[in-house]
Structure 1
Amino acid sequence: MPASPLTDPEILQALTAENRLLPSPSAVALELMRALERRDLGMRDIANIARKDPALVARMIQLANSAIFAGMRPAVAIEEAVLRIGTGGLARLAIALSLMQASKATNIEGFDLRRFWMTSIQRGLVFQYLSQRVGKMPSAEAFSLGLLADVGQLAMAVSLGAQAVYIGAEGSVQALLAQQLQQYGYDQGDASAVLLAHWGFPQTLAQAVRIRPQTPGAAGSREAQLGECVALSRSLQLRPGGVAADAGQMRSLAEHLHLSESDLQGVLASAAQDMAGMAAVFEMKLEQAEVDAEFDRLRRALATPPLLDEPIADEVLIVSKDAALRLGLRQALESAGHALAEAATPAEAFEIVQIQGPRVVVLDWADGDSVAALCRSLRTERGPRIYLLALSRDMEQHAVLNALDAGANDVLFAPVLPQMLIAKVQTGARATRVLAAAEAERSHGLRTLRTLEQRNAELLQAAGTDELTGVGNRRALDAFLPPLFAQAAAEGQPLACLMFDLDEFKRINDRLGHDVGDQALRAVGRVLRQQSRGMDFVARVGGEEFLMLCPQTTEEAAMRVAERIRAAIAVPQADLPPLSVSVGVALGAAGFADAASLIRAADQALLQAKRLGRNRVCLAPTASSAAASN
């Protein structure tokens, strides 16, 4: 009897009530997730929580220096890692890192744990690059969601055994999900969603990992597109040998997200490039040759035409005015599995080649000059991409030379032995397939090269820009701040650092939805751009946190600028709830050891503004006065 569908609390209880304990995130990782709910905590507080786990700090710094987060200079402190990865991304990646560490102590007979985490890392990279193209999530949060999208599979393997998640070589994911629903009342996608919500992921992200058939009617909302993006990253994930990738599903999902085959090939190329380095962050050793072989199977499955699937037998065109000869040849070739087309005249044959494109043509040379003319035309037009086999009743040398001179690949003498005919046709078909595959490979290589060149140009332009708000991002800040701070210190010039935090942003998101939240962030970014000078630098450094650097700006001027921006953001705007920002101002460079110290001072002033009731500006004490008070 099929099991009744379980509710989310019942699924969680079922997963945790078994005899075998599930691998769980560390206490520090869970504390970081809880800290995201508190608006009185800043980057420094997040960094201090992370310091409770030195191994986590080391891996986070390594992650901040990896290809997908690296700035212009290496991060050496946890504060720099928090700034670069973001507080939300860091907390969710801490869940993944600690979960992987905990799973190493788990022994599941018949479940390939290394394969599971290798696939998870690849899926995280794919989802991150997909998200960049459709503009749905910041890099760190996208990577962590893709990484943990199938954590329910691990949970079910631990609690129920490997057979609960096993897909045979002839099986499919959909068949497995149906079997899980029938047997347990939930599937591995439900288990993933329940666990992510239990660990503190927002409901929007947790629900996106549920596995459902994708329906075009659901397209449009942010949640539906996020779910489609997760589904596409699953479709593009690595698969064990023998389990075929569903190229049709890949293309269908890509169409919903307005992505082309070239876009998907570019995503796979980027993920393959970063795979080995990212695996090292998770203490998994992967050779680049292994990575290339894994991705090559996916790339070939996705290519048009597919480069992996070689047809068993090609279509053959028989050209002869002799109906009895055509019938005999048809019977012999159909017995070998070939599809057949027939033409009684050269004109009819030429039309069939143009429309159906058979790669093997058998020509009755007894039909005279018209067949020789057809042979020349096909060779001129198709070159080596077509195999032409001449059947001759004349065994004289000149007849053979005439056929070869007209462009035939080979000559077979009548009467024809069926085994010899089949052998000749299959040899020719194999040669044309190899050539077609080589040409498709070369064409794909050129397309990929053009895609990567275009993508590199886009990345160079967009690398320093926050996609949502149009201001700078953390990478741009990394490049801009150190030389600016050094110059201000060397010349004795003031450098003002202003930190802005959009008040009650979580409440806006929860009550009005992420689309309104995004509009609010864009509005703040627009005001900051409008109120900044040409020499100023503006960046978004966290979910709702922005930073402005104002060179050659005194304390009085910096406070004036901060107050002017605070007032401008508070002006009512159509289609938006009332907005306000809390602002922290710190003045350097004198008295601060480095740029990071200046940012920390502004961050502490921002926290003070929030503690005092939000929607206000607070000035950090100067470094010298702070030292004196201590």
Structure 2
Amino acid sequence: MNEDLTRRLKLCTSLPTPPSTAVRIIDLANDPNASLMQIADAVAFDAALAAKMLKVANSPLYNSRRSASNVRQAISLLGTHAAITIALSFSLVGGLKSGRQSREVQLFWQRSILSALACRVLAQHFKLPADDLLLSGLLQDIGVLALQTALADEYVQATAAASDHDQLLLAERAAFGSGHDEVGYWLLKRWHLPDHLAISCLTSHIEPKGEIAVNANSCVAVSGYLADVFLKPTDPVVTLRATNAASRWLGLQAQALTDILNGMREGLKEVEDLFDTPLIEAAQADALVAEAKELIFIANLRQTRELEERAQRDALTGAHNRAYFDDALNKEFNLAVRHAWPLSVAMIDLDYFKRINDTYGHAIGDATLQAVTRVIQSQIRNGDVFARYGGEEFVLLFPGTPGEAAAKVLSRIRETIASFHHTVDADTSFKVTISIGLASHVNGEDAVTSGVDLVHAADRALYLAKAQGRNQLAQAVV
């Protein structure tokens, strides 16, 4: 964490600290031999906490077949680990919320409690430890409270323009050198809380990379986005952002995400009562979930289309891939035969491309393929199909276009590419040329019997263009 910020936090005498009951429970959390009797004894010293523990043990959140009539029974029903985690949740929140609160602090606790609820519902969905996740959700943004306390007006001014939680983190880092994720980690370590709680402050704010990993940290990360859906029910962007986060971190699809929001809606009243914090009215929550469901399914359809589009594209160049081209070729050839429409196919190959890779390296070679792709895509119609055929070879399909018209487009493309300078560094650049073979099926004549034959004819013309000295366009006679 930034050294200057660490110093300022250490000097702040009003920095949030756990109440005495929480300190005792923290000691028990760090003691592997802690007993139910010790937990019950610690809880019993705080009448408000004892009442909450009794209430939670009998609440629908735990669906226990037995009921508890005293704290000792409540602790027994919950079990050692759950009892410590839940007691710590209530004692920390109760102690840190004491006193008069500003609107910003009230909003902080509303978001934290909603995040905790989201964590619990996600834990149930993925069969993860629910109580651990609830506490992680509560404390993941505790650094915000510390920054608000220690930096006061300076913090408000630095973060005033942040319109969402992600922007808040960026604004903190820009202004103070560290964000509330690092501050939360530092604070929870200072309180001697179990390591997984402190670590969740950091890991739940890191963008996912690679394969989806469903774990406690990814659930905590998504929980904040879900909390925002309930805090900003009229903002569709917030719902779409939550949809995207749930997909990226947890792989949740539309129906599963809707189930999660429904689970949160059903648990709202319980967590409001347990944490003495008003969140959202029941009628408003019902309308929110119904509206969110529509937005989620719309977003899911869009994501599905984007996935389908990516599956049809070459990863390096962004041109269509071979499978997409083969399918388009078959369809267009059948239409051309049925309606006596012209159809042209061009095979395009970069001249001496191996020499570019050998001289400048594969990174420059890849950049060259991408640049050539951009040039070609900029000069063809929307209905034309441009695809990477393999290596440095591309193919262009011109539906409804006779050979003469296709040749004009291809000549323009060839000349543009030949004049383009590819930069290696400040002192080095080079040019590249292409050879093109063109074949056309005109007016439904039976010169070729399939789209594959048309491609073969274009390929033969390509070899002719190379034999004629490259940087040429040769047209096949079919």
State the partner residue of 1:117. 109
Kept in 2: contact 1:276–1:291 (CA 8 A): no
Q: Distance in 2 between matches of 1:76 and 1:125?
A: 25
Correspondences of 1:554-593 after superposition (within 5 Å): none
**Stretches of structure 1 lacking an aligned partner (at least 5 in a row):** 308-630
Tell me what 2:240 maps to.
247
Matching residue of 2:2 = 6
Deviation at 1:195, TM superposition (A): 2.4
CA distance in 2, matches of 1:300, 1:158: 40
Whether 1:233 and 2:219 are equivalent positions in the alignment is no
Question: Which of residues 31, 36, 53 is equivalent to 2:29?
Answer: 36
Provide the residue aligned with 2:190 in structure 1: 198
Find the partner of 2:17 among 2, 24, 32: 24
**C-alpha distance in 2 between matches for 1:139 and 1:44:** 23
TM-fit CA distance, 1:267: 1.0
8 Å Cα contact 1:156-1:164 kept in structure 2: yes
Q: How does 1:384-533 map to 2 (within 5 A)?
A: none
In 2, the alpha carbon distance for the partners of 1:53 and 1:29 equals: 10
Shift of 1:266: 0.6
Give the distance between the partners of 2:81 and 2:164, measured in 1 at CA: 34
Partner of 1:348: none
CA distance in 2, matches of 1:301, 1:66: 32
- Corresponding residue for 1:98? 91
Q: Which residue of 2 aligns with 1:189?
A: 181
Q: How far is 1:124 from its partner?
A: 0.9
TM-score normalised by length of structure 2: 0.55
- Could you tell me whether the CA contact under 8 Å between 2:116 and 2:134 is conserved in 1? yes
Task: Give 1:274 shift.
Answer: 1.0
Could you tell me how far 1:85 is from its partner in structure 2? 3.1
Q: Does 1:282 align with 2:275?
A: yes
Structure 2 CA distance for aligned equivalents of residues 165 and 83 of structure 1: 45
**C-alpha deviation, 1:275, in angstroms:** 0.7
Aligned partner of 2:332 in structure 1 is: none
Within-5 A mapping of 1:548-559? none
Alpha carbons of structure 1 residues 139 and 241: separation in structure 2 relative to 1, 3 Å: closer
CA distance in 1, matches of 2:108, 2:294: 22
State the shift of 1:268 in Å.
Answer: 0.9
With over 3 angstroms needed to count, the CA separation of the structure-2 counterparts of 1:164 and 1:132, relative to structure 1, is same
Whole-Å Cα distance in 1 between the matches of residues 149 and 234 of structure 2? 24
Contact map agreement 2:36 2:76 (CA 8 A) in 1:
yes
Distance between the aligned counterparts of 1:133 and 1:45, measured in 2? 32
Confirm or deny that 1:150 pairs with 2:141.
Answer: yes
Give the corresponding residue for 1:569.
none
Uncovered stretches (5+) of structure 2, i.e. residues with no partner: 302-478
What secondary structure does 2:227 align onto? coil
C-alpha offsets along residues 117-147 of structure 1, whole Å, 9 cap, x if unaligned?
Answer: 22222211111111222333x2222112112
Residues 285/253 of structure 1: CA separation in 2 closer, same or farther (3 Å cut): closer
Q: In 1, Cα distance between the equivalents of 2:64 and 2:232? A: 35
Number of the residue aligned with 1:81: 74
Flag the 1:303–1:182 CA change in 2: closer, same or farther, 3 A: same
- Give, in angstroms, the shift of residue 231 of structure 1: 1.1
Matched, 1:15 2:9: yes
Instruction: List aligned pairs for 1:301-380, cutoff 5 A.
Output: 301-304=295-298
In 1, distance between residues paired with 2:23 and 2:289?
34
Alignment length (residue pairs): 296
Which residue of structure 1 aligns with residue 407 of structure 2?
none
The 5 A counterparts of 1:614-625 are: none
**Distance between the aligned counterparts of 1:226 and 1:165, measured in 2?**
31
Letter matched to residue 6 of structure 1: N
Aligned match of 2:169 in 168, 177, 182?
177
Aligned-pair distance for 1:293? 5.1
Q: Distance in 2 between matches of 1:176 and 1:216?
A: 22
CA contact (8 A) 1:89 1:140 kept: yes
Q: Alpha-carbon deviation of 1:107?
A: 4.4
The answer to whether 1:161 aligns with 2:152 is yes
**Which of 25, 29, 53 lines up with 1:60 in the alignment?**
53
1:125/1:199 Cα in 2 relative to 1: closer, same or farther (>3 Å)? Answer: same
Please give the alpha-carbon distance, in whole angstroms, between the structure 2 residues aligned to 1:127 and 1:300. 23
Q: CA deviation at 1:245?
A: 0.9
Structure 1 residue 150 displacement after superposition: 1.5
Residues 258 and 289 in structure 2, CA contact (< 8 A), matched pair in contact too = no
For the residues of structure 2 that align with 1:69 and 1:120, how far apart are their CA atoms? 20
1:134 is aligned to: 126
Cα distance change of structure 1 residues 294 and 192 upon mapping to structure 2, 3 Å threshold: farther
1:245 match: secondary structure: helix
Distance 1:13 1:281, change over 3 A: farther
Q: Which amino acid is 2:35 matched to?
A: G
1:231 maps to a residue whose letter is A
> Given the superposition, is the C-alpha separation of residues 198 and 85 from structure 1 closer, same or farther in structure 2, using an over 3 Å criterion?
farther
AA matched with 1:184: F
Match of 2:253 in 1: 260
Q: Deviations over 1:337-365 (max 9, x none)?
A: xxxxxxxxxxxxxxxxxxxxxxxxxxxxx
SS, match of residue 289 in structure 1: helix
What per-residue deviation string (whole Å, max 9, x for no partner) do you get for residues 457-482 of structure 1?
xxxxxxxxxxxxxxxxxxxxxxxxxx
